[in-house]
Amino acid sequence: MVQDAERTTDDTTSGGRDNPGPGRPDPGIARIREAAAGVWADPWWTLPNLLSVIRLAGVPLFLWLLLGPQADLLALLVLVVSGITDWLDGKLARWLNQYSRIGELLDPAADRLYIIATLVAFVLRDVVPWWVAAALVLRDLVLTVCLPVLRWHGYEPPDVHYLGKAATFCLMYAFPLLLLVQEPFPFADVARPIAYAFTCWGGALYLWAGILYLGQVVVAVRQARAKPV
């Protein structure tokens, strides 16, 4: 559920309907600045964050390998390395106690960028229909727009839902398999239906998780507006 990060004081009302007096800053803007200050105050140069930055740097390389030389096996290697670093940065954050807000933002951002880059390449190479990619990309765009709305009303972004994790898991398995079946190899006929099954399951779960996140945002905004001034 969306966590209420709103802070109230004796002389400041809450819920996004504040009416600041003359010379008093808008409380909504103050809350956004407060959240941004918290991100910048976090430790940046940590080993988990470095791995997340490496994952992000691999996105343009991955896209170039798919669209330029169409070196699918090398692109698959980049995707595998990304998956390993994704698992490793979470483990290191727990082992070294190096949690940070910027790390929490970088990790899902890398996942989303890999998904979007893969979908763009697959559409351009006629691997998946354009409307499938458009639906998944639109889902991410809508949720991205919701984040500043939540901040404005004093809420943190929603926690990652288990359906969202399952959807990302399915898509991260589907994409390598889809890359494999583009190359001639002995088990391509066996891998092809598995690849498209993971794509269908992952895509459906991805959209459903997006609807659940959007519902959480709507409930949070309504609760904020319903609070007395």
Q: What is the pLDDT of residues 28-71, one digit of tens each?
A: 555 545 554 444 456 667 777 788 888 888 899 999 998 988 88
Q: Could you read off the pLDDT of 162-219 as tens digits, one per residue?
A: 888 888 888 888 888 888 887 777 787 888 899 999 999 999 999 999 999 999 888 8
Question: What is the spatial distance between Cα 216 and Cα 150, in angstroms, rounded to a whole number?
Answer: 10
Structure tokens at 56: 């992000």
Tell me, what's the pLDDT at 43? 61
219's CB contacts (< 8 A; 6+ apart) are 2
Q: Three-state DSSP class for 155? A: strand
Please tell me whether residues 120 and 141 are part of one structural domain.
no
Q: Residue 225 sits in which domain range?
A: 128-229
13 in any annotated domain: no
Max CA separation in the chain (angstroms): 74
29 in any annotated domain: no
> In the 8-state DSSP scheme, what is residue 4?
B
Give the CA radius of gyration of the chain.
Answer: 21
23 in any annotated domain: no
Query: Where is the domain boundary, 126, 156, 184?
Result: 126
Please tell me whether residues 115 and 140 are part of one structural domain.
no
pTM above 0.75, yes or no: no
What's the start-to-end Cα distance of the chain, in Å?
A: 24
154: left (phi over 0), alpha (psi -120 to 50) or beta: left
Please tell me whether residues 222 and 162 are part of one structural domain.
yes
Report the domain count for the chain.
2
